[in-house]
Amino acid sequence: MEAKLKCFDCRSSELITEFIANYRYDECGLPNIILKDITQKRCPNCGSTFVSIPGMKGLHRSIAIALISKNSKLTPAERRFLRKSLGWSAADFARKFHTSAPVVSRWESERMPNSMSTANELLLRVLVAQGQKIGNYQEHMEKIELERKIEPVQLILNHTGRKWEEAT
Ligand SMILES: [Zn+2]
């Protein structure tokens, strides 16, 4: 195990220390996504931490499924995450939903979180749901907005075998 790893930040060639810990996946743009037991490397010289997340595609799919299964409305950041999971630019989103770029920008803006109609939100969820069977999605369509509060989804995800699953 004499890998010649160099720190990306300080270029130190000191051996980078490996450890396993839960990782807060802020890079996905959502505030409360915790990945369990992720192998990370810390540079003993500058303290920078480097992480390598397995199964990115499956991870993003698991997060997307959790989002479209929420009973409360989506937060702006969650709308953005789902839009990106479809591979759409903001302009694509506007075009497909027969609206304008400024409207899409408000849907994804933290300052005006209520401006997306339930009908449009359901349509977005259905589009994300396409391509993978989601057991009780129809039930969720009826329940959405029963909880009036808008709260970001909170997830703890575990990479078991080859799949990302919600930790219980
Ligand atoms: Zn370093």
User: In this model, does residue 139 exceed pLDDT 70?
Assistant: no
Report CA(79)–ligand 1 centroid distance (Å).
Answer: 36
Q: What is the Å distance from ligand 1's center to 4 Cα? A: 13
CA distance 121 to 143: 13
Q: Which of 41, 19, 30 is CA-nearest to residue 156?
A: 30
Q: Ligand 1 centre from 46 Cα, in Å?
A: 4
How far, in Å, is the centroid of ligand 1 from the Cα of 2?
17
Can you tell me the distance from the alpha carbon of 11 to that of 46, in angstroms, rounded to the nearest whole number? Answer: 9
Q: Confidence class of residue 1 from pLDDT cuts 50, 70 and 90?
A: very low
Q: Is the pTM of this model over 0.85?
A: no
Mean pLDDT, to the nearest integer, of 6-30?
Answer: 88
